[in-house]
Structure 1
Amino acid sequence: MELSILDIKGKDTGKKVSLSDAVFGIEPNDHAIYLDVKQYLANQRQGTHKAKGRSEVAGSTRKLGRQKGGGGARPGDIKSPVRVGGGRIFGPVPRDYSFKLNKKVKQLARKSALSYKAKDNAITVVENFTFEAPKTKDFTALTKSLQVADKKALFILSEGNKNVYLSARNLPSAKVITVSELSTYDLLNAKVLVFTADAVSAVEQIFKA
């Protein structure tokens, strides 16, 4: 697949970039995508949830009634889970939700996501650019020029650019990342992907390895 490279004004520069079928044209693997997104979301969880059991809640251990002759079950202490204010049975405890995923599965998932975007014609390539200073106004003008202002756009740079990142930080519909930060979740969460020319080469170099 060949795409035209646009400038920051949204005009065709006359240059073309060819997207590798090995990265942008594979048969997508939905299960690999599911696993990679599941791992990404699991890693976002803090796992700090906690409820107190009967041994942790405050309260007396005094026996509340006689052992026999009460006409019912033997009463325990006030911290019993069946009583109001008692401990919780099998309550949540702090835990780590992360899990291991093989590198090849993660790469397959990301190539699958890229292939879906390519199939949907949701990829735009823009020439390498930078801003002299962080200005949200300049980044907004860029999204309008590229006709992605009304869409959730993911801008992918070959390397970090502080001014570009800061310019986009206040825009809820735009996100700027580098090639090394690519995730299946971000790729699928965006409606359109905007690559810089160098980022396309960098992505292909990473995923062909």
Structure 2
Amino acid sequence: MKLKVQTLDAKASGDVELNDAVFGVEPRADILHRVVTWQLEKRRGTARAARERSDVARSGKKFGRQKGGGTARHGDRAAPVFIGGGKAHGPRVRDFNPSLNKKVRALGLKMALSAKAKAGTLTVLDNLDVKDGKTKVLADQLAKLNLGKVLFIDGDAINVSFAHASSNLVGVNVLPAVGANVYDILKADSLVLTRAAVEKLEARFNG
């Protein structure tokens, strides 16, 4: 698959040949759904448990008379109504640590990249250099490219001037190639890769 390369100023900068094994895979909703679900579950921390009535260190002795004390009848201090008592129906420990085969995860990323290429919302840029790292300069350049909610993926590291310029722009997200993931790619309306990102992503799968 051949795609035209542009600069941030929307000027032509040659062509790039995209590997069909990475950018030409037929997307499958079930694979993408499995990978996105796995990603979101991996974000969740362990749900902690609360100590219940049998877990707290309180005396089990009945601390008052059954009748005549002028207060309600209680068995012991571990009751939930007392400070330091056990929680009634407290949360249990839940550990969210799902697993997903590496091959499925890799296939999901290929399908996400291919889905953007197939939909025509994939753009390849020469680089992400922004003059003086100015937000206004970048905003004008993005307007020329007609990009709304967009994900930029760079090479080994994010371009420093672009990171500074894009930090205050709503709807602009930027990742290094190693951080490319299915959820962020699908969530963005447009995907922009640099030449370096294309090389890194293709090498990631071919390696």
Partner of 1:3: 3
Deviations 1:187-207, CA, capped at 9 Å, x for gaps: 111110011122122212212
Structure 2 unaligned residues grouped into runs of 5+: 67-73
**Contact 2:152 2:175 survives alignment (8 Å):** yes
Partner of 1:196: 194
TM-score w.r.t. length of structure 2: 0.80
**Are 1:134 and 2:133 an aligned pair?**
yes
In 2, Cα distance between equivalents of 1:162 and 1:180 = 16
Partner of 1:106: 105
In 2, Cα distance between equivalents of 1:191 and 1:164 = 19
- Structure 2 CA distance for partners of 1:4 and 1:57, relative to 1, 3 Å: same
**Are 1:144 and 2:104 an aligned pair?**
no
In 2, Cα distance between equivalents of 1:32 and 1:110 = 10
**3-state DSSP class of the match of 1:176?**
strand
Q: Identity over the aligned pairs, expressed in percent?
A: 37
TM-score w.r.t. length of structure 1: 0.80
In 2, Cα distance between equivalents of 1:60 and 1:139 = 67
**Contact 1:55 1:87 survives alignment (8 Å):** no
- CA shift, 1:55, in A, is 3.7
**3-state DSSP class of the match of 1:89?**
coil
Equivalent runs, 1:54-203 vs 2, <5 Å: 54-56=53-55, 61-63=60-62, 76-77=75-76, 79-80=78-79, 87-89=87-89, 91-93=91-93, 95-131=94-130, 133-148=132-147, 151-160=148-157, 161-203=159-201
- CA shift, 1:59, in A, is 6.6
Deviations 1:122-150, CA, capped at 9 Å, x for gaps: 101111132354332232223112110xx
Deviations 1:103-134, CA, capped at 9 Å, x for gaps: 21111010011111111111011111323543
- Structure 2 CA distance for partners of 1:31 and 1:61, relative to 1, 3 Å: same
**Contact 1:154 1:175 survives alignment (8 Å):** yes
**3-state DSSP class of the match of 1:10?**
coil
Please, which of 201, 204, 207 is the counterpart of residue 205 of structure 2? 207
Q: CA RMSD in A?
A: 2.8
Query: Which letter maps to 2:174?
Result: V
- CA shift, 1:66, in A, is 8.5
Deviations 1:6-62, CA, capped at 9 Å, x for gaps: 11111223x112222211111223333222212221222222544331145687644
- CA shift, 1:92, in A, is 3.2
In 2, Cα distance between equivalents of 1:133 and 1:52 = 56
Structure 1 unaligned residues grouped into runs of 5+: 68-74
- Structure 2 CA distance for partners of 1:189 and 1:62, relative to 1, 3 Å: same
Count the aligned residue pairs: 198
